[in-house]
Amino acid sequence: MPKKQRESDVCPNCGTKVDKPIKTWNLVSPLPDSYGRITITVMGSYECPNCGHRWRAVVSKIRAGGSEVEVEGKKGVKKFGESKNQDKQDEGEIIELDLGDLDEEE
């Protein structure tokens, strides 16, 4: 049976769901993966409006390399660049992140 994933935007202290992180930053992996892509991990700093607890969690992961950018969020993996036939709104440089329930430690 599937292991329940702890949501990164839910307070680990009292369980209150937080709209969005108060701060996000990127962690860039210095080593490319097997496809020659760089992995950028988007971290978020959350503060619970209910109990004031603060925590950090992985918001999303981005893999960039060549002409393609891959964003890993809670809805799966999204690709930008060469294969952008599905989402016309994703053209250009803007990458919209899914703020969600990723909780992947490496």
Stretch that binds Zn ion, among 7-15, 37-45, 57-65, 92-100 (CB under 5 A): 7-15
Only one of the segments 19-27, 40-48, 54-62, 66-74 lies at the binding site for Zn ion (rule: CB under 5 A); that segment is: 40-48
Q: In the bound complex, what is the minimum distance in angstroms from residue 30's beta carbon to Zn ion?
A: 34
In a 3-state reduction of DSSP, which class is residue 90?
Answer: helix
Q: Are 24 and 44 in contact (CB under 8 A)?
A: yes
Asked if 13 touches Zn ion (CB under 5 A), the answer is yes
| Residue showing tokens 């893999």 | 63
Is the Cβ–Cβ distance between 18 and 9 less than 8 Å?
Answer: yes
Q: Which stretch binds Zn ion (CB under 5 A): 9-17, 39-47, 80-88, 97-105?
A: 9-17
Evaluate whether 104 touches 61 at the Cβ level (below 8 Å): yes
Contact of 104 with 77, CB cutoff 8 Å: no
Residues in 53-92 that interact with Zn ion by CB under 5 A: 53
Binding site for Zn ion (CB under 5 A): 11, 13-14, 16, 48, 50-51, 53
